[in-house]
Structure 1
Amino acid sequence: MKTIKALRISFLATMCLWLSACGDLTEINKNPNSPENVSSNYVLTYSLVNSGKLVFNLGKNSSKIAAAMQYMQAGTNEGAAETNQYAWTQESWAGYYDILRNVQIIYDNGVRDDNKFFQGIGLTMKSMVFGLLTDLYGDIPYSEALQASNGQFFPKYDAQADVYKGIMTDLKTADGLLQNLSAKDAVSATSDVMYKGDVTKWRKFANSLRLRYALRLADKKAEMAALGINLETEFKEASANAFTSKSDDASIAFLGTNSDNSQPGGPLASATFNWLTKPAKPLVDKLIQLNDPRLQRWANPVKRKWDATVKTETTKSYTNLFGETYSVVYVPAVASSADTSLYVGLPVGLPITQGIVYNKGNDVSVYPNEQNPYISFIHDRYRKNIDPYVAMNFMNYPEVEFILAEAALLGGFGATDAEVHYKKAVQASMDKEGALTAATFNFENYYAQPGVSYASATNKQERILEQKWISSWFSIQSWFDWRRTGFPALKTGPVAQFGPALPIRYMYPSPNLDPKYIANYTDAVNKLGSTNYIPAGQSKDHHYAKMWLIQGTNKPY
């Protein structure tokens, strides 16, 4: 084998020498398979699907962010230190930059071919992915990133303010490009797996992202103005052409035909069902308190329910609001501490020994690992290959209405009618989960509750953010909202590694040992702000360090 390989190398070397003796090699050097010659339609499919997977995995039911936002908790040693104790470790960003390299090809090809549609898509996706990176880490390689072909292997970490400036600038440019396109500015409907080549929806997506980042930067208006970005103007312009219904959602459905295009919890992608994660008690209790139908979309009822009205174990059939039927064993309650609810969440941050037996009471039966029947499980849909209520979601219509509501409340963004937008947001979230068509659900009655209505709220920003948190189930955006506002007021559990605070950023990937890389990394770390939750002697590259975005804001703590 080595001999054959050596002969091949020798042959290729000889060919190269022969070619070098020839004249003009321009035509020979054109490689039809090089990235710059690949159709943007092919690159678009790859970029959209991989971006969707990336965002989905950031917020899925076993992620650290889902645990921090108390959508779920873990019950055993497997991953419990990360999810329940917030013992976060360094995170790679290689996947993000892989996507960005491909998005850059889409944009560059669009410039080469004078295709404004592809240019607009390229800038929109670039802004979304770079936005994720800076939201997660802080300062990141930006202006010098994606330039390895030009010999730039150790890009500087741009200041976070400059990254946001670039994002806002590119999104505004994208909006301009996506208007008044000509016939030549086309995108294949089959390659565009999100919007099927609909330019109006891409324009709405770009403007909805502008709204997201204008509000995210609300506490940094002066600093952004100094960089030439007027957030109020940006917000006013974008709001005129943002999402107006769920048909505009930037979302990609799982196909469910093989392991690569199925959702991660399904049998095609997972060897065994994930029973590890449970819906967290703070969210479950809030949904029970509000008689919120979304609980039934996201969690299963317990398999065994403590109940004071039965004398002996009794099996009953329970059908939820959406017509799903479950068999539940009602067990005589013997302790006042038993949670007798039909839906039971796992408390936040319990020690392992308590978490696996929570609410088990005096039941000495041995159940399969992680299948304590007195705690609810994440809904069965998260253990399927495909489900209409589980998708790769970049941004949706309810988020836009919540943004407009908060912006109107805060003032200074040109938005008005905070309550109107808030009510639309809550209703849109219900619609997204299919609750509005359920025969026994009345939205007006739900909204009129003191715990839901805008008018009855003492702190109206907290009311908006609480409902946005609920609506953002398994979305990472709720973490960014909480970090900016401190709402909802989530509490850590007894095993939290750093006390009563939640993490506020991702730690950088392990730095390359090259001196230039180390210098760039060190400069970025030095600009992070310390907090009381970073142990003495530890690096500021810590998940409790403050990035520029929240420095000087007293938020979230």
Structure 2
Amino acid sequence: LNAEQIDPGFIMTEVISQSAYQLVLAGFAGNTSQCIIDATMQYVQQDQGGGVNIKNTFGWKGRGWGYRSFYLSLANSNYLGKRAKDSRDSTFLRGVSLTMQAYWFGFNTSGWGDVPFSEAMRGEDNILRPKYDSQKEVFKGILNYLDKANETFSNVSSVSDFTKSSDIMFNGDIAKWQAFTNSLRLRFLMRLSEKTNEMNEIGVDVKAEFNKIFSDRNKYPIILSNENNAVVQLPGLASNDSWPLGPFNQKTEDPYRRQKPGAPFVNFLKEKNDPRLTVWIKPVDVQTVIDDKGDEKVILIDENGKVKKYLRSLSEYVDTSLFVGLPIALANPDNYNGNSSDDRNAIGNLNPNIYSGGASNPYVSYFASMFRENTSPYLPGTFITASEVYLILAEAVVRGWISGSAEEFFKNGILTSLRQYDIFDGDLKVYNPVNHKIQAYNEDEFINSMINHYNSASDKLLPIMEQKWLSLFTTLEAWFDWRRTGYPNLGKNLVSGPHGEKMPIRFYFGDSEKNFNEENVNKAIERLEPPIDDQWSKIWLLQGTGKPYN
């Protein structure tokens, strides 16, 4: 069996599944060579091992196109388009190919800056050292791909049963593919929010294009319900299709336990009485209480049968909450909140069921149990969701790009995020920081408080970006929004960052490009500000914007 005999439907299956799994690894569940943005966005801090330097304090390494097989996903998306002619569903498959290529080109240029585009994947034309196109030309090409994809899907009247079964994301639903395609267009147009004048110079009216899509839902459907989310569930049947921190892939608890929630993430959820806190994060195994029990520190079982640590007085870096995250870029995160081997031994003697293995800290929260399972409906591979689209629309109204109610879009962005996790009014999901009880979620009360927070903000982008930061948890997308807007202001949370309050703003090129395409890579590096290939230099998207820092 040669490549030409493989039905293109199988190629589509591989493109979708491979892409989704790479996003799972890069967004949250991969090792330190795969996943670093979760710590940059302060969702996560690693408390042991090499990740303390690589993730917590940004000791990044160069990442080539082979990084997490992102390039392979792009190459296979391109190959799908070339093979589409061999299928009875050729038009549909060409649309899928264009959308998936646009997705990965968009990711690559957003992550690295200038990348090969016009000469990419043209080895058959003997182009082995492709030029690195300017970022604005890459974005122009991406938007063109997505426009063509929407038009291509419009010309499809039906999809065969075989191709439907090969489409593990939308089951051949043409309208859902169109909505995915146009939602990506909105995302990338908004990514250009600080570069509208320069895009105009090359014939792309960002605001007009955005308004055109928003104003004609029949021609340009977009994702506005969770049923249409562009996500792929992990089957959880074997190691290669299961959540990377689950038992199929990790025989011990250590990798799961090592990834602790970041304190800014935990604290923001607590401050807002957000029910997603208890869905994503576990309470500490042993709560710290300020109460004089005779000695400076006493560990004992309270009247409710819970092991507690009692301290005579409160001091710096002591957190008495039931939900505790690690401060960001802390020098010795493993010791946070008084963690020690002596304490763990004392706790184990009182209750041997409390986890005391590798990466244990009974005084800091772990992520919820679903992060240790082989599969969970709440942890798919995510391309884009309704929540993100609603919040993009809210921002577009604030910027004056479209008409409508920013407040309503903002509210729907929050609600669709909550529904992704099956959070409904009355659920016992809300942590009360005063009495440390879990109480019923009151949806009207919560949404009203969020709307009040929005209305009282002097810059309406801040609450929108805060909610995008939350709703984009387990993906890389919040990084791109933070770079573009400076919101939320996460740099202020760094305890011992290598560059003060600055955080990385790009991936830097790997050795493979420098070894095999040195001349073109160097030209791309020369266009950075400053022209240094590291994680601190500004790509064109950020140059001259003053964001996320000067």
Please, what TM-score do these two structures have when normalized by structure 1?
Answer: 0.86
Return 277-286 or 75-84, whichever deviates more.
Answer: 75-84
| Residue correspondence of structure 1 range 325-404 to structure 2 within 5 A | 328-337=306-315, 338-352=318-332, 355-360=333-338, 364-366=342-344, 367-404=356-393
Q: Is the 8 A contact 1:452 1:463 kept in 2?
A: no
Aligned to 1:407: 396
Aligned to 1:419: 407
Q: Quick one: distance in 1 between partners of 2:463 and 2:137?
A: 32
Aligned to 2:73: 99
Q: Is the 8 A contact 2:525 2:533 kept in 1?
A: yes
Identity of aligned residues (%): 32
Aligned to 2:233: 253
Aligned to 1:33: 2
Aligned to 2:62: 90
> What SS is found at the alignment partner of 1:459?
coil
Q: Quick one: distance in 2 between partners of 1:387 and 1:329?
A: 30
Q: Quick one: distance in 2 between partners of 1:300 and 1:269?
A: 22
2:181 is aligned, of 187, 195, 206, to 206
Q: Number of paired residues?
A: 504
The offset of 1:77, in angstroms, is 3.2
Shift in alpha-carbon separation, 1:38–1:227, aligned structure 2, 3 A: farther
Q: Is the 8 A contact 1:511 1:521 kept in 2?
A: no
| Residue correspondence of structure 1 range 81-160 to structure 2 within 5 A | 81-94=53-66, 95-111=69-85, 115-160=90-135
1:194 is aligned, of 156, 160, 169, to 169
Aligned to 2:274: 292
Q: Quick one: distance in 2 between partners of 1:56 and 1:522?
A: 31
Return 116-125 or 77-86, whichever deviates more.
Answer: 77-86
Shift in alpha-carbon separation, 1:106–1:511, aligned structure 2, 3 A: closer
The offset of 1:49, in angstroms, is 0.7
Q: Is the 8 A contact 2:290 2:314 kept in 1?
A: no
Return 359-368 or 292-301, whichever deviates more.
Answer: 359-368
Q: Quick one: distance in 1 between partners of 2:143 and 2:334?
A: 46
Aligned to 1:535: none
> What SS is found at the alignment partner of 2:336?
coil
The offset of 1:438, in angstroms, is 4.5
The offset of 1:83, in angstroms, is 1.0
Residue 293 of structure 2 corresponds to residue 313 of structure 1 = no
The offset of 1:37, in angstroms, is 4.1
The offset of 1:333, in angstroms, is 3.3
Q: Is the 8 A contact 1:279 1:376 kept in 2?
A: yes
Shift in alpha-carbon separation, 1:448–1:363, aligned structure 2, 3 A: farther
Shift in alpha-carbon separation, 1:271–1:150, aligned structure 2, 3 A: farther
Shift in alpha-carbon separation, 1:414–1:58, aligned structure 2, 3 A: same
The offset of 1:180, in angstroms, is 4.1
Aligned to 1:280: 262
The offset of 1:368, in angstroms, is 3.6
Q: Which amino acid aligns with 2:533?
A: D
Shift in alpha-carbon separation, 1:343–1:452, aligned structure 2, 3 A: farther
Aligned to 1:18: none
Higher relative helix content: 2
The offset of 1:441, in angstroms, is 1.3
Shift in alpha-carbon separation, 1:41–1:524, aligned structure 2, 3 A: same
The offset of 1:192, in angstroms, is 0.4
Residue 423 of structure 2 corresponds to residue 435 of structure 1 = yes
> What SS is found at the alignment partner of 2:239?
coil
Cα deviations by residue, 1:494-545 (Å, 9 ceiling, x for unpaired): 332222200000001114566x711101000000012xxxxxxxx6111000
Q: Quick one: distance in 2 between partners of 1:297 and 1:227?
A: 46
Q: Quick one: distance in 2 between partners of 1:260 and 1:415?
A: 45
Q: Is the 8 A contact 2:112 2:507 kept in 1?
A: yes
Return 470-479 or 66-75, whichever deviates more.
Answer: 470-479
Return 336-345 or 159-168, whichever deviates more.
Answer: 336-345
Q: Quick one: distance in 1 between partners of 2:181 and 2:57?
A: 37
Q: Quick one: distance in 2 between partners of 1:361 and 1:103?
A: 48
Q: Is the 8 A contact 2:292 2:313 kept in 1?
A: no
- Cα RMSD between the aligned structures? 2.2
Shift in alpha-carbon separation, 1:513–1:223, aligned structure 2, 3 A: closer
Return 355-364 or 55-64, whichever deviates more.
Answer: 355-364
Aligned to 1:548: 540
Q: Is the 8 A contact 1:335 1:361 kept in 2?
A: no
Q: Is the 8 A contact 1:302 1:328 kept in 2?
A: no
Q: Is the 8 A contact 1:97 1:146 kept in 2?
A: no
Q: Quick one: distance in 2 between partners of 1:316 and 1:294?
A: 29
The offset of 1:308, in angstroms, is 4.1
Q: Quick one: distance in 2 between partners of 1:247 and 1:346?
A: 35
Q: Which amino acid aligns with 1:424?
A: N
Shift in alpha-carbon separation, 1:550–1:362, aligned structure 2, 3 A: closer
User: Which ranges of structure 2 fall in alignment gaps of 5 or more residues?
Assistant: 294-298, 345-355, 428-439
Q: Quick one: distance in 1 between partners of 2:136 and 2:46?
A: 36
Q: Is the 8 A contact 2:91 2:155 kept in 1?
A: no
Cα deviations by residue, 1:334-354 (Å, 9 ceiling, x for unpaired): 2213311100001111112xx
1:68 is aligned, of 36, 40, 45, to 40
Residue 215 of structure 2 corresponds to residue 243 of structure 1 = no
Please, what TM-score do these two structures have when normalized by structure 2?
Answer: 0.87
> What SS is found at the alignment partner of 2:338?
coil
Q: Quick one: distance in 2 between partners of 1:455 and 1:316?
A: 44
Aligned to 1:44: 12
User: Which ranges of structure 1 fall in alignment gaps of 5 or more residues?
Assistant: 1-31, 318-326, 531-538
Shift in alpha-carbon separation, 1:78–1:511, aligned structure 2, 3 A: closer
Q: Which amino acid aligns with 1:314?
A: I
